[in-house]
Chain A
């Protein structure tokens, strides 16, 4: 009996969806907008997340050592730093590598390079490049260096630590992004709730048109589940069709904005992202569409189901 009813509910839902063409079209139109807003929210979150990660990766601490620092001291410092839990990686650059990096970085400045050639010896000391686990750890690493290697005193083997200012700027920027992400999330949630309410009202309007039909179904003794079922199926179909349309629309939209996002957000091309994550995006959008459609139908039909 259950399967017979289930089969009939599915069939009726499909037929109703097809026969109520205008109502179905308007519901789909509204749901496409809802799902586009949802997709926009997902993409914004991805872009901000990517920006934050990219910024974090750009921050490191460069410990410039004195040219006469002993190799054993340098090695010990590297080992000490590697054991710190706040540190993700420590890279040692020899004096020659530092010189080479300087030459590459200043290849446009001939005067500087000429001046360098006048010097008989390599003026640079070795260098340690440190990457922290996250931005908030840089303060602790600086403190560790001050406490253990007497940074800024005559006894220190450290010539300079050139991270502080750079990471402060980036930390501020990341705070702004963080706040923006939270603010954006609130705005997005408001938009999503609003669009769900609009969808709900559109479907409620469709139910209003069918209210006499629902009353007749009640009068011939149909069970509530048998009356509600086809409407929920039709709602789910609205969601399914809308999500497929949204996935099709996303192709030209992301293609159009992809290059701009790559320039603005540290190389994240939305079109590439859309293509690479097509399956996941499809799954989320289809699930959201079916959920919003069927729940809206269920909520909308409730008020027309009273027996007396």
Chain B
């Protein structure tokens, strides 16, 4: 019964999800997982544990072999192409390799996310400088990504992720390429975003980050959830 109503009560709900790739690799196995609104959830695990597959399925980049994934009460796998785009606009994404558009300036990278969401020019002119202030990059708006440091690029990615005020921020190893100071700064920004009411899902290898956060930690191993601690620490 708990499973049946799970998707109604939670923001994100993985219902007995299994993912087997074409080459027979089993990335996820019978994963059931519930994430509430305004939660900060960290997902940890070794390489190949299934963290990225989990994120890809939430973004509708991959389909589960078995099971269902709900975003609020919507079954993600039943969405049409145009609806997938609408879903993605409600989820801000941050990646280890930043994934910025190399031929666009900092300003244009952030504006693109707003344009994609159909926002007006006036909104773009008002909001982009505001988020750039938030991530402390107001003076870099005309720079191209190649002209920025790793930490700065990741802050641009965060600015792009939050500019449409999404319901969820998904950060896949966002500190993987950063030094400790930049890592600390990025985690502080993510905490601030969560404090303002946005759900944050973070995957990481960084023990220091997890221990410092003191929030819920889900541990994946061989595609299965082996631990789910409400205020966990990094244990592998």
Contact = CB atoms under 8 A, between A and B. Distances in A.
Contact of A219 (B59, B86, B115): B59
Contacts of B101: 213, 216-217
B120 interface: yes
B116 A223 contact: yes
Interface stretch (B60-68, B173-181, B224-232): B60-68
B107 to A, nearest CB: 12
Contacts of A217: 101, 112, 116
Contact of A213 (B61, B84, B88, B102): B102
B113 A220 contact: yes
B116 A308 contact: no
Given A16-B103, A213-B101, A308 B60 contact: yes
B82 interface: yes
A195 B44 CA distance: 52
B99 interface: yes
Interface string B168-186: 0000000000000000000
B117 to A, nearest CB: 7
B20 to A, nearest CB: 15
Interface string B52-72: 000000011111000000000
A19 B160 CA distance: 21
Which one of A213, A220, A308 has the highest number of Cβ atoms from chain B below 10 Å of its Cβ?
A: A220
A220 B112 contact: yes
A220 B61 contact: no
A308 B63 contact: yes
B81 A307 contact: yes
A218 B59 CA distance: 10
Contacts, number: 60
B100 interface: yes
A220 B160 CA distance: 9
B93 A226 contact: no
B85 A223 contact: yes
A223 B116 CA distance: 7
A115 interface: no
Contacts of A308: 60-63, 84
B89 interface: yes
B160 A307 contact: no
A218 B62 CA distance: 13
Contacts of B63: 308
A296 to B, nearest CB: 20
Interface in B81-140: 81-82, 84-89, 93, 99-103, 112-113, 115-118, 120-121
A1 interface: yes
B84 A212 contact: no
Nearest to A226: B116
A8 interface: yes
Interface residues of A, number: 23
Interface string A17-35: 0011000000000000000
B103 A213 contact: yes
A5 B114 CA distance: 12
Nearest to A18: B103
B106 to A, nearest CB: 14
A119 interface: no
A302 interface: no
A1 B116 CA distance: 12
Nearest to B87: A221
Contacts of B103: 15-16, 19-20, 213
Contacts of B59: 219
Interface in A60-90: none
Contacts of A5: 118
A218 B87 CA distance: 11
A232 B65 CA distance: 36
B60 A223 contact: no
Interface in B125-168: 160
Contacts of B120: 4
A26 to B, nearest CB: 16
15 contacts: A4-B120, A5-B118, A213-B101, A213-B102, A213-B103, A216-B99, A216-B100, A220-B93, A220-B160, A221-B113, A221-B116, A223-B82, A307-B61, A307-B84, A308-B60
Return the 9 tightest CB-CB contacts between A and B, nearest first: A221-B88, A222-B116, A221-B89, A221-B85, A220-B113, A19-B103, A216-B99, A308-B61, A220-B116
Given A221-B116, A308-B60, A308-B61, 16 more contacts: A15-B103, A19-B103, A213-B101, A213-B102, A213-B103, A216-B99, A219-B61, A219-B93, A220-B93, A220-B113, A220-B116, A221-B85, A221-B87, A223-B82, A308-B63, A308-B84
Interface of B: 59-63, 81-82, 84-89, 93, 99-103, 112-113, 115-118, 120-121, 160
